[in-house]
Amino acid sequence: MTTPSGLSWVSRFPTSTQFADLAPPFRSNARNFVDALRAAGIGVSVSATLRPPERAYLMHYAFRIANEGMDPATAPGMRGVDIDWVHRRRDGAVDLAKSRSAAASMVTAYDIVFRPALTSNHTRGLAIDMTIGNYRNKQVNDASGVKKTLKSAADLHGLGATYGVHKLASDPPHWSSDGH
């Protein structure tokens, strides 16, 4: 039995926020970086680590249907995700406007800005989304133990790189093993 696309899908297959779900050695790299920031009195809020493939699938196709004009009838299925991207009128005819509207509500609820990849550093456990606040003029140890004073976002990004945690500048909360 399939369930029509829409907001009810957003809470399914939640993204983890746990360091334990990250892949080694990125797990310890990210943990050590965040521990160093917190030890310096810097606020860190983790919003995402490992994203289940099912969630990536839902995010990807919701975005394509809502924002790229993809025909919902052509979205491939995924084992274990019994979603029906096609909404119908009472007479059984396809209701394309309702199909796109349901997908758009998912995009909004997921807070998607760019087309999500089906396979990414998040689905491989090699990325973390986090908000880092109040870091300017704080002194933090880099991965080799040398104290660094953070005066700018570039300094913060450089500090992360010493831990093997690289910033994707175009995506505010996103850090990963390779900067993508």
Q: What is the structure's pLDDT at 113?
A: 84
Would you tell me how many other CB atoms lie within 10 Å of the CB of residue 2?
A: 11
Does the structure show a pLDDT above 90 at 174?
Answer: yes
Residue 164: other Cβ atoms inside 10 A: 17
Closest CA to 106 of 145, 55, 144, 45: 55
Residue 63 pLDDT > 90, yes or no?
yes
Mean local confidence (pLDDT), 86-93: 96
- Per residue in 6-59, pLDDT (tens digit) is 999 999 999 999 999 999 999 999 999 999 999 999 999 999 999 999 999 999
| pLDDT value of position 171 | 87
DSSP state of 21: G
Question: Residue 10 is encoded by which pair of tokens?
Answer: 């957003």
Strand order in the sheet with 43-48: 43-48, 127-133, 174-176, 166-167
Question: In the predicted model, what is the mean pLDDT of the chain?
Answer: 97
**Predicted pLDDT of residue 114:** 86
pLDDT over 90 at 143, yes or no:
yes
- What's the one-letter identity of residue 55? R
Q: Which residue in 17, 13, 16, 8 sits closest to 109, CA to CA?
A: 8
Neighbours of 14 (CB within 10 A): 11
**170 vs 115: CA distance, rounded Å:** 13
pTM summary value: 0.85
Q: How many CB atoms lie within 10 A of CB 115?
A: 13
Alpha-carbon gap, residue 144 to 170, rounded angstroms: 27
The stretch 156-168 carries a mean pLDDT of: 98
Given this model, what pLDDT does residue 133 score?
95
The residue count of the chain comes to 180
121 Cβ contact partners less than 8 Å away, ≥ 6 residues apart: 127, 176, 177, 178, 180
Structure tokens at 132: 């880092």
96-124 pLDDT, tens digit per residue, is 999 999 999 999 999 998 899 999 999 99
